[in-house]
Chain A
Amino acid sequence: MSSRVFAPASLTPKDNHLLAALPEATYQGLLHFLEPVPLPLGLAVVESGGAQGYVYFPTSSIVSLLYVLADGASAEIAVTGNEGVVGIALFMGGETTPSRAVVQSAGYGYRLRGDVLKKEFEAGTALQQLLLRYTQALITQMAQTAVCNRHHAVEQQLCRWLLLSLDRLSGSELVMTQELIANMLGVRREGVTEAAGKLQAEGLIHYSRGHITVLDRPKLEARVCECYAVVKREYDRLLPDPRSLAPRARARI
């Protein structure tokens, strides 16, 4: 696959913050095994219940972790972008996962074979520390999503979701249908339409044919529930600061 697939020349593994934060020697050791992969919208990177062979480091895409219930209902429990890694069951020792990982915003990423990752992880290098801290940040995001789903209005959840997604992209535009957002939030589509309409009427966002543009981020941040800040604070605290990473990565942020 790697022989046919080329990430845009402007992207490197260092566009993923975890990979960028690795000591140079560790990074060079892994480089050979990191395969660029396109991550098109809707691709299931990890299937629920299935064994997985790779972990994915998104660079320009966002992957949604969805829980899937026995009756087929599903909703998003967390998002992962260039700050993280998808497929943590592999190094945490879980055989299978009840959640699905689906590409929510198309782009690219790098994948790494499970056995390579496991070996590196078990060796207790800097990669292990980064992955573990990311895991803790992810657990916090999941717990906060649980609370948000339970207690907050759809409109606030939508604001949270937009902000978390934007933090993981370079621009201020998302390609997303209302139906998909409804699936992510686990609510009915009408609920999303109403909430998005309100935000649009107040000039916070512009929504047109599957494109959402955030027009006024400060207002969106004022509108969102505390859940966004809780998650962001934990991520900022626990994960490598992209501004302090290699110049190559910094230039693109």
Chain B
Amino acid sequence: MNRERAANSLLAVLPRKGYQLLLPRLERVTLKFGDVLYHPREAIQHVYFPIDSMVSLLSLVEGHLALEVGLVGHEGMLGVPLALGVMDSPVRALVQGSGTALRMTSAHFLNEVRHNRPLQRAVSRYAYDLMVQVTQTAACNRFHQVEARLARWLLMTRDRVRSNQFRLTQEMLGSMLGVLRVAVTKAAGTLQKRKLISYSRGEISILDSRALETAACLCYQIVKVVPAVTRA
């Protein structure tokens, strides 16, 4: 379990004692691409601390594809509303990248977060980071071109799954960026032609991450994952 502690950055910043208190409550689970962990306005059953999985937070609006407002990986957790005193999720949480996570029941988490001060602080701090991400995503969606947004999204994904290769359908990407699929296809085609990425059958590989950073809007610099230890 100690290896896994380091594998989720939010748990990694807890003092050893704080973490050991949590340990018996944490259960290792596999999250599969396409799984829905939370539905809007439904009670949260578990909180999740992703290790190498990635989950997209989607806001739903009638008559449109769901729009991504946040992306959660090893740097964070799912179930922030619980820590803020709210028992249900405002968003849909959809697994974007298969992998493992540690989970805990809501009841246990509520109890822990009430008594474990370092956990409380880490979660508050993460809730704030998530808010910054929501804000930045909104701004980015509003003002930036699809290609720059796609580049940002690919880099954010890479940071969260810690791999230059991941699976993705163009339809999902459209939803992530709030644009039509054709626009995604076109933007992905341009990045591919410039040899920044390769895209084939739902598998994306980042070939040149430095160039991809240049292609991305500056929003990426704000939401990129900074290792938690250096921030403390």
Which one of A132, A135, A151, A234 contacts B61 once the chains associate, using CB atoms below 8 Å?
A151
Q: Which residue of A lies closest to B221 (CB)?
A: A70
* B84 on the A face (CB < 8 A): yes
Check if A146 sits within 8 Å of B131, measured CB to CB.
Answer: no
Judging by beta carbons under 8 Å apart, are A69 and B67 in contact?
A: no
Interface segment among B14-22, B138-146, B207-215: the answer is B138-146
| A73 interface residue (CB < 8 Å to B) | yes
Per-position contact with B for A51-70: 1 when CB-CB < 8 Å, else 0? 00000000000000101011
Size range of the chain B interface in the assembly: 35 or more
For B137, the chain A residues whose CB sits under 8 A away are 146
Residue of A89, A93, A136, A139 with most partner-chain B CB within 10 A = A139
Interface SS of A by simple majority: helix
**Contact partners of A77 in chain B: CB under 8 A:** 135, 138-139
Q: A69-B219, A133-B84, A226-B61 are in contact. Are A89 and B138 (CB under 8 A)?
A: no
Q: Does A94 contact B (CB under 8 A)?
A: yes
Q: Is the CB of A135 within 8 A of B142?
A: no
Interchain nearest-CB distance for A202 vs B (Å):
23
Task: Decide if B59 is an interface residue (CB 8 Å cutoff).
Answer: yes
User: Would you call A146 and B134 a contact (CB within 8 A)?
Assistant: yes
Q: Are B90 and A150 in contact (CB under 8 A)?
A: no
Q: Which residues of A contact B70 (CB under 8 A)?
A: 143
Q: Are B131 and A139 in contact (CB under 8 A)?
A: yes
> Is B25 interfacial (CB-CB < 8 Å)?
no
Is residue B156 contacting chain A, with contact meaning CB distance below 8 A? Answer: no
Please state if B124 and A136 are interface contacts (CB–CB under 8 Å): no
B128–A147 CB distance below 8 A = no
Q: Do B218 and A143 have beta carbons less than 8 Å apart?
A: no
Residue in contact with B128 in the complex, picked from A74, A93, A144, A234, CB distance below 8 Å: A93
Q: Which residue of B lies closest to A91 (CB)?
A: B124
- Identify 17 residue pairs between A and B in the complex whose beta-carbon atoms are under 8 Å apart, listed by A's number: A65-B135, A69-B143, A97-B132, A98-B132, A98-B136, A98-B222, A136-B80, A136-B81, A140-B90, A146-B69, A147-B61, A147-B64, A149-B141, A150-B141, A151-B67, A227-B61, A234-B90
Residues of chain B having any CB pair with chain A under 8 Å: 57, 59, 61-62, 64, 67, 69-70, 80-81, 83-86, 90-91, 121, 124-125, 127-132, 134-143, 178, 217-219, 221-222
Q: What is the interface of chain A, defined by CB distance below 8 A to chain B?
A: 65, 67, 69-71, 73-75, 77, 88-89, 91-94, 97-99, 129, 132-133, 135-136, 138-140, 142-151, 186, 225-227, 234, 238
Q: Which 9 A-B pairs have the closest CB atoms?
A: A146-B138, A92-B128, A70-B218, A93-B125, A94-B128, A136-B84, A67-B139, A132-B84, A150-B178
